[in-house]
Amino acid sequence: MRLHLKIWRQAGPTEPGRLVDYVADHVSTDMSFLEMLDVVNEDLVKKGQDAIAFDSDCREGICGMCSLVINGVPHGPDRGTTVCQLHMRRFRDGDTVVIEPWRAKAFPVVKDLVVDRSAFDRIIAAGGYVSINCGGAQDGNAIPIAKDVVESAMDSAACIGCGACVAACKNASAHLFMSAKISHLAQLPQGQVERGRRVLSMVAQADAEGFGSCSNEGECEAVCPKEIPISNIARMTREYVRALLSSDR
């Protein structure tokens, strides 16, 4: 296939950016989207030009590093799929593909398609952990937890912190990301110690980082590669009110 690419190029955080046209030739349908960009970059390097900067690590859909907006959709056209797991068979010969970085005030562009997502790390540092000493691995039956609660907590724990939910939201809200961690820990016995403090601290940190609020549009859920349900945000809101009304903070 031959594809026409329009890729966001920006030399640095304070430099102006623009879409630059490239042609990707001999693209195999079996390539992943990132492999296609690797080939474009090899060609640029051979020509002595600056390679396009983009993030990736595991390339297996588990680390959350790959972060591209493809034709206006964070992570591209496949539902429940990270960019690294998106394959070129999803595109047709002659297609024009527009590739941009996440767009959010709290995720400033570092270079080209790379954004600084350390704001997420600071939100997790504010409360997305348990501080109790768990000691060594315990017998599986030592802390009985109902199976439906375990399943629900694990579904929330599937968030990989990619930030697509923020990129898709017109308010650049981090609510789906925060609610996944808060729901995960609020449902488990180990998460009870800091339950109230956690939600108040994480929401305060998200506000300080410049993320917006939630207006229930649902774009976050639609683009989430781990299909984290928006019902987690409702649980986070209940947790927030509970924390405000209780002495547990």
Is residue 165 at the binding interface for ligand SF4, with CB under 6 A as the rule?
Answer: yes
For residue 68, give the nearest of 80, 51, 56 by alpha carbon: 56
Which residues lie closer than 8 Å to 161 by C-beta, 6 or more apart?
64, 117, 120, 124, 177
Our CB check for ligand FES shows the closer of 30 and 139 to be 30
Instruction: Tell me which residues in 169-188 interact with ligand SF4 (CB under 6 A).
Output: 176-177, 180
- What is the C-alpha radius of gyration for the chain, rounded to an integer number of angstroms? 20
3-state secondary structure of 35: helix
Q: Map tokens 């348990």 to a residue.
A: 130
CA distance 121 to 108: 14
Is residue 66 at the binding interface for ligand FES, with CB under 6 A as the rule?
Answer: yes
Our CB check for ligand SF4 shows the closer of 27 and 172 to be 172
Strand partners, 3: 24
CA distance 111 to 28: 27
Strand partners, 21: 6
Which of the stretches 3-11, 130-138, 224-232, 233-241 binds ligand SF4 when contact is defined by CB under 6 A? 224-232
Is residue 224 at the binding interface for ligand SF4, with CB under 6 A as the rule?
Answer: yes
CA distance 83 to 189: 35
Is residue 58 at the binding interface for ligand FES, with CB under 6 A as the rule?
Answer: yes
Q: Which of 164, 186, 236, 243 binds ligand SF4 (CB under 6 A)?
A: 164
Binding pattern for the stretch 78-117 against ligand FES, x by CB under 6 A and - elsewhere: ----xxx---------------------------------
Our CB check for ligand SF4 shows the closer of 109 and 165 to be 165
* Contacts with ligand SF4, residue ranges (CB under 6 A): 159-165, 176-177, 180, 224-226, 228
